[in-house]
Chain A
Amino acid sequence: MNPVSSRSGHAGAVQRLVRLGSEISETQAQISLAKRVVTPDDDPVAFVRAATLRRADLASTATGRAIDSADRRLSATDTALDSITSIVQRLRELALQGANGTLNAGDRLLISEEVGELAEAFSGLAEARGADGEPLFGGAAHGGPAYAPDAAGVLQWQGYGQAPMVAAGGGLIAGGIEGPQAFGSSDAVTGRESIFDTFANLGKALVEPNPIVRAAAMDGAIGQIDGHVTRLADARAIVGARQSRLGTEGERITREKLTTAVDLSRLEDLDMSEAIARMQRLLTILEAAQASFARTASLSLWDKLG
C-alpha cells in the first residue's frame, strides 16, 4: 500500500464527512419544503412543466371568474325574463277579457289602466341591471338606459352590439341577451311590433269607441302577444342554453384544475417516506464515519515512541 500523506489523509476523511453533511442538509431542505423540485437545476424539465401547469391553472381560475360573472348576468337576465313572461301572460289575459264584447266601456277603461300599470312594470324590468350595474338588455352600451321613448312615446332600444362575450373552451359564449331578441323590435314597413308597441296598441284598442275597429285591433294585439310569448320563451331557452354551456365549461375547468393539481404534485412533491428513510440512512452513515474517523485519527506510532 502506498504511504498516505497525513495531511491529505486527514483532509480526505474530513471532506467525506463534509460531503455527507451537505447531502443530509439537502435532504432536510427537501423534507421541510415537501418538494422535490425547488429550483430549475433540480430538474429543469419538471420545473418548466410545473411552471406551465401553474400558468394553465391560473388561466383556468381567471376563466372560471369570467364564467361566474357571465353566469350571474345570465341568471339575472333569466329572473327578469321570468317576471316579464308573467307580465306578458297577464297582458294576454287582459287582452282576451278586453276582447269580450259583453264588457262596457268602463270595464275596458279599467283594463286599459291595468295594461298601463303592466307597461310601467315591464319597462322597469327591461331596464334591469346586473350585479355589475350594466343594463341586462343593453347589448354593448355601457350605463344605459337600454330603452328610451321615441317621439310617439313608445320605448325603443338604445343599445347596440352584443353583451360581453366569455372566452371559454376555445370558443366565445355570449354572456347575455340583447333587448330586441327578447322584446322584439318595431318596423313600420313590415308591421313588426315590439312588446312596447303592443302595450301601446292594446292600450289604444281598449279605449277605441268603434267596436269594429276595436275588435280588429284587439285581435291583432292578441296575435302579437302570442308572438311575444313565444319569443320570450325562446329568449329564456337561449339564456338557459348559454348558462348550461357556461356550467359545462365551469365543470370542465374544475376537473382540469384537479388534474393539474395531481400532475403538479406528481412533478414536484417529495416521496416523504423515501426521503425520511434516506435521511435516516445518511445519519447512520455519518455517525459511523465520525466514530471511525475519531478512532483511526487517534492511532499513532508516536504514542509508542519514547
Chain B
Amino acid sequence: MMDLLALGSAGVRAFQAALAVTGDNVANADTPGYVRRSLILSTPQTGPGGPIDRENFSGAGVRTDSIARAADALKTNAARVASGDHARFAVRSDWLQRLQSLVTNADTGGRVGAFFDAGNDLASAPTSLGARALFLSAADSAAGGFRGLGADMDALSADIAKAAKDTARTINSLTSALARVNSELRRTQSGGTAANGLLDSRDRLLDELSGLVRISVSESIKGAVTVKLGTGAAAALLVPETGSPVQIGFRDAPAGAEIILGPDHDPTPLRLPASGRLSGLIEAARSVTAMRQDNDLLANRFAVAANDWHQGGTDALGDRGATLFSVTTLEVTAGRANAGSAAIDITIDDGAAPFAGGYRLIRGLSDFTLERADGSASITGTGPLVLDGVTVRTSAGAATGDAWALSPRGGAAGLSLRPLGPERLAVAAPYVTDASDANLGSGGLRVVADPAAAGIAAPLPWRVVITAPGLADVLDPVSGAVLATVPADGSLIAGTGFAFAIPAGAVTGDTFRLMQTGAGSSDNGNALALAQRRSNDGPDGTLEESHDAGVARIGSALAETDRLVQAALAVKDDTARAADDVTGVDLEREAAELTRLQVAYRANAQVIATARDLFDTLLGLRQ
C-alpha cells in the first residue's frame, strides 16, 4: 500500500517534470537556437532480490532520467554549411552591387567617348575657341572620370577591408566565447537544465560562426567542441577542446586580400575559406582590386594615347603640342607613430616630374624637412617647401618627429588635365602640303611623322618639282636651289623628323609645296588623327571596348553571384527547415503532448487517491 502511494507520487513527480519540460518548450517556441527538449523517464532498478531483500511485487515506479535535447548533428551541420554558403554569396553580391553602381555611375566609357566625339567636333571647327574649350572640358571630364572612379574604388576597398576586419574581430570573440562554453561544459553535469542551456548557447555560437567562416566541428563527451577552419585533416585549428582559441585577422596584401592566422604573433596566410561572410568579403575585395587595376591600366592607356596624339600636332601658336595629361601624383601616407594631427597639402607644378623614388616629410623641432626618399636632395624650412616642383604645405598640429611618406602614384589617381589654354590645343598636323592647281597628275604629298628620320637637312618650306617620270627635285622655294633629287614613286623619303612620299601618279612638271604648319592654321589634320587613336586596338580591343569588357565582367560576376545567392538561399531554407524540424518546437505537437502528459498526471494522481482509499478502508476496519 505504501508502495502504491510511492508509485503514485513518483509518477506524479515525473509527469509534473515532463509537463514542466513541455511548458519550457512552448515558452521557447520562438527562441532562436532553442532545441526542443524531452524528459527521459525510466524505471529505477529494484533490489537484486537477495535473501535479505523482500521480494518486490509492486513495481519500482518511475524516475526522471535526464532531459534530452532533440539534436541531430548531421542536419545541424548541413544547415550551418548552407547558411555559410548563403552568407558568402549574399555579402559578395552586396559589395559587387556597390562596385557595379560605382562603375556604371562613373561612366568613364561615356566620358572617353565624349572626348573623342569632341575631337570630331574640333576637326569640323579647328579654329573655334568654343570647340577648343569644349574639347578641353571633355578631356578634363574623361580624366576626372578615371580619377573619381579610382578614388571611389579606393574608398570601397577601404570599406570592405573594414567590414572584413570587423568580421575577423567578431569571429575572434565568438571563438573566445566558445572556448569559455567548452570549459563550462566540462564542469557541468550533462543531461541537466544547465548543461542543456550551455549546449544551446554553444550551438548558437557555432551557427553564428559558421555564417562568418566555414568551420568543421567535432564534439567530445559532455559536448565540448573542437572547431577547425575549413574541413579536412589539414584544416587549421580555431578552437581546441581545451585551452584558448587561435585568433584570426584580415589583411589587404599586395597580392590580394587574405585571411591570416595569429595576426599578432607569427601571422600565417590561410587559403580562402569555402564559405561564410568572410570569404564573401575577401572575394569582393579581390574583385574590387582587379577592377582598380583595370581602371589604372585603362587610365594609363588613355593618357599615353592622348599625350602621344597631342604631341604629334601643332597648336594655334605654331608650336608642337605639349602633353595633354599629367600622369603622376603624390600620395601621402602618415607615419604610424605620428602623434600630431597636421594635414598635408601637396601641389605639383605643371610639367614637373616628381622624383620617382618618392619623398619623406619630417617634422623637426620647429620646422619641416622635405627630402627625396634616397636622400639625394632635401629642403628644410617653416613655410611651404618646394622641391623638384613639388610644393608641400602643412597645417598646424604636427608633433616633433612626425613623418609622412609621399609616394608617386600613376594610374587613375595620377591622371589630370594639364592647365592648357585653348590656343595650345594641337589641332593642326605639323606639316602641311599642297599641290599646284596646274598639276596634271593625281594625288598629293603624303607626310608622316618619324622622329628618327634624318635625311634632307634643309629647313622647310620646300618645293617639289617632278623633273622626269619617277624623279623629282626638292627645291628651296625662295632661292630655287636644288636641295635634293628624290624618287617620285610613292616611296618614303626621309626629311628631318618626318618622311614624305611623292605620289606615283604625278607627271613631269607637277609641283608641290611642303611646309611646317605655322601659327594660326585652320588645318585639322591632328584632330582627324584622334579618330585613329580611338580605333587603336589594345590587348582588350579599343579603349572603350576594354572599359565595356570591365563593366561586363562585373555585371556577369554579379549576375552569377545573384543566381548563386538564390540557389544557396533555397538550400539554406531547406536544410534549416530539415534541422528545425528536428530541433524546433512544433506547437501543435506540444499541445498534444501536454494533453497526453496531463492525462498521465491525472492517472497517477488517481493512483494516490486509490492508495488513500485503500488506507481509509483499512483504517475503517478498526472501528
* Interface of A toward B, CB cutoff 8 Å: 2-9, 12, 15, 39-45, 47-48, 51-52, 54-55, 58-59, 61-63, 65-66, 69-70, 132, 134, 138-143, 160-167, 172, 175, 178, 180-181, 184-185, 187, 190, 192, 300-302, 305
Contacts and interface: CB of A to CB of B under 8 A. Distances in A.
A243 to B, nearest CB: 15
Contacts of B127: 132, 134, 142-143
Given A6-B29, A141-B520, A305 B591 contact: yes
B577 A8 contact: yes
Contacts of B29: 6-7
B587 A62 contact: no
Given A55-B109, A140-B521, A301 B573 contact: no
Interface residues of B, number: 73
A109 to B, nearest CB: 33
Interface stretch (B40-48, B115-123, B169-177, B229-237): B115-123
B581 A4 contact: yes
A12 B573 contact: yes
Contact of B521 (A12, A43, A141, A305): A141
B521 A142 contact: yes
B623 to A, nearest CB: 43
B117 A41 contact: no
Contacts of A5: 36, 577, 580-581, 583-586
B592 interface: yes
Given A6-B29, A58-B113, A70-B124, 12 more contacts: A3-B586, A3-B588, A8-B581, A12-B577, A39-B100, A41-B558, A52-B548, A134-B522, A140-B432, A167-B123, A178-B437, A300-B587
Nearest to B586: A3
Nearest to B544: A55
A40 B555 contact: yes
23 contacts: A4-B586, A6-B587, A7-B29, A8-B584, A41-B96, A43-B559, A44-B551, A44-B552, A47-B552, A55-B113, A58-B114, A59-B113, A141-B522, A160-B515, A164-B522, A165-B123, A166-B123, A167-B528, A178-B434, A178-B437, A180-B436, A301-B591, A305-B591
A59 to B, nearest CB: 6
B595 interface: yes
Interface string B102-140: 011000011001101110110111111000000000000
B515 A132 contact: no
Given A8-B576, A40-B558, A190-B438, A48 B548 contact: yes
Contact of A40 (B36, B104, B580, B587): B104
Given A39-B101, A55-B109, A161-B433, A62 B120 contact: yes
B438 A4 contact: no
Interface string B421-433: 0000000100011
Interface string B349-383: 00000000000000000000000000000000000
Interface in B551-602: 551-556, 558-559, 562, 573, 576-577, 580-581, 583-589, 591-592, 594-595
Contact of B438 (A9, A141, A185): A185
Contacts of A140: 428, 432, 517, 521-523
Tell which of A2, A66, A141 has the most Cβ of chain B within 10 Å: A66
Given A58-B113, A167-B531, A69 B124 contact: yes
A257 to B, nearest CB: 14
Given A8-B581, A59-B113, A180 B548 contact: no
A66 B528 CA distance: 11
Nearest to B595: A305
Contact of B128 (A42, A132, A192): A132
B552 A45 contact: yes
B182 interface: no
B513 interface: yes
Interface in B492-544: 513, 515, 517, 520-525, 528, 531, 544
Contact of A161 (B436, B523, B555, B591): B523
B266 interface: no
B576 to A, nearest CB: 6
A44 B121 contact: no
A301 B556 CA distance: 50
A267 B104 CA distance: 18
B584 A6 contact: yes
B567 to A, nearest CB: 14
Given A161-B523, A164-B522, A165-B528, A63 B595 contact: no
A68 to B, nearest CB: 8
B30 interface: yes
A83 to B, nearest CB: 20
A134 B127 CA distance: 8
Contact of A164 (B114, B524, B553): B524
A228 to B, nearest CB: 12
B121 A62 contact: yes
Given A62-B117, A161-B521, A164-B524, A181 B552 contact: no
Nearest to A175: B124
A134 B433 CA distance: 19
A84 B251 CA distance: 79
Nearest to B598: A305
A44 B120 contact: no
Nearest to A172: B528
A98 B337 CA distance: 101
B26 to A, nearest CB: 9
A178 B439 CA distance: 14
Contacts of B101: 39
B461 to A, nearest CB: 9
Nearest to A69: B124
A181 B32 CA distance: 92
B120 A167 contact: yes
B555 A142 contact: no
A184 B437 contact: yes
B434 A139 contact: yes
Interface in B61-101: 96-97, 100-101
Contacts of A8: 576-577, 580-581, 584
B548 A51 contact: yes
A132 B145 CA distance: 32
Nearest to A183: B437
> Top 7 closest A-B pairs, CB basis?
A5-B584, A40-B555, A44-B555, A66-B124, A8-B580, A41-B558, A180-B437
Contacts of B594: 305
